[in-house]
Amino acid sequence: MRIGKFTPGEARIALVTAIGAIGLAIAQLAAPTNAVAASGVQQVVGSTAASRAAKTLTVRCPAGTTATGAFGAIGGVTSGVHIDRLWPQGNTVRIHATPLPSVSRRWRISGGATCVTATTDVEYRASGAAPASRASDDDQRFGVAVRAECPGGKELIGLGGTAVGGRLTHLQPLGPGVPYTGEPAGPGPVHGVSVIGHTYAEGRAHVSIQAMAVCANTGHGTRVEFAETVSTATEKTVAAGCGVGRQIHATGAIITYPNHYAEKTPFSFALLNTLNHRADSLMGSVRVTRHVDDVPTEAWGVGAYGICASS
């Protein structure tokens, strides 16, 4: 496990000046219910009441199952609210979102949990909590990076991250050749999670950054599917799908600025509006709207990571 500042030398990997904000433009999810897919992968969804305040959605998996991923969406506003926690642990997921001070409308979180059969080998490995300060220029510009690793003999089957009151800008699986991680290609399991969180001028003075790896014995055949789109458009959607024999267990995301990896001003960040995955369609999708004070003139990218495994 590594905890520390995310240095400029690592910026190509993931200096993604984005607000980790999860909204749902795909669908408004209704009151808690189960969507059951093949091979025992289930999704349980729910939503909060609408209000202007920061809030948490808690969703629980059915008896006999355990959570591998959280997904979420903001309804009621098109921008200005960002999800800063997606946290699966045991049979429960928690999704937290924070509005910018400029948001005056009522909004809600819709989202849920991806759940698989609970077996004794499933293990939740959280990183240590790394502090980030609003008073630190580096913490605003470059963020703070943490990693959670699976123990030997186990592979990643799910993930989560938190930066409540800050910006959850980067949620990536770690494994051979996974794009934007610096992991070398070659044999070996998908073995961990990398999270980057930033402070920002309108957020909390102090933010705690943490990563969660959901691990199980090797044999699930976890693969990471990646899709990316790069342009100057203010809004992008990208989806990564699983191949035959594997189902989506969780979704990760990254936002990149290929021509500008260093600082972005607080008025030129992107809002991650949707991080969603559907057990029935085997797809994980990410939708991002760039929140800017002017029209973007440089290319920027959005990537989706599908964590695909057999159950």
Strand partners for 126 = 212
Superfamily of domain 3-309: Proprotein convertase subtilisin/kexin type 9 (2.60.120.690)
Please tell me the predicted confidence (pLDDT) of residue 214: 97
Residue 28: its pLDDT value, please?
Answer: 28
% of the chain surpassing 90 pLDDT: 45
Domain ranges of the chain: 3-309
Task: Pick the range with the lowest mean pLDDT from 13-17, 247-251, 277-281, 294-298.
Answer: 13-17
Confidence band for 92, pLDDT divided at 50, 70 and 90: very high
Please say if the pLDDT value at position 38 is more than 70: no
| DSSP assigned state of 128 | P
Q: How confident is the model at residue 269 (pLDDT cuts 50, 70, 90)?
A: low
11: part of which helix (H) or strand (E)? helix 11-14
The letter for the amino acid at 146 is: V
pLDDT class for 17, splitting at 50, 70, 90? Answer: very low
Instruction: Please check the confidence at residue 241 and state whether its pLDDT lies above 50.
Output: yes
Residue 252 in this model has a pLDDT that exceeds 80: yes
Q: In sequence order, what are the residues at sequence separation of 6 or more whose Cβ sits closer than 8 angstroms to the Cβ of residue 16?
A: 169, 170, 196, 254, 255, 256, 257
Return all residues near 9 (Cβ < 8 A) that are at least 6 apart. Answer: none
Question: Is the pLDDT assigned to residue 26 strictly greater than 90?
Answer: no
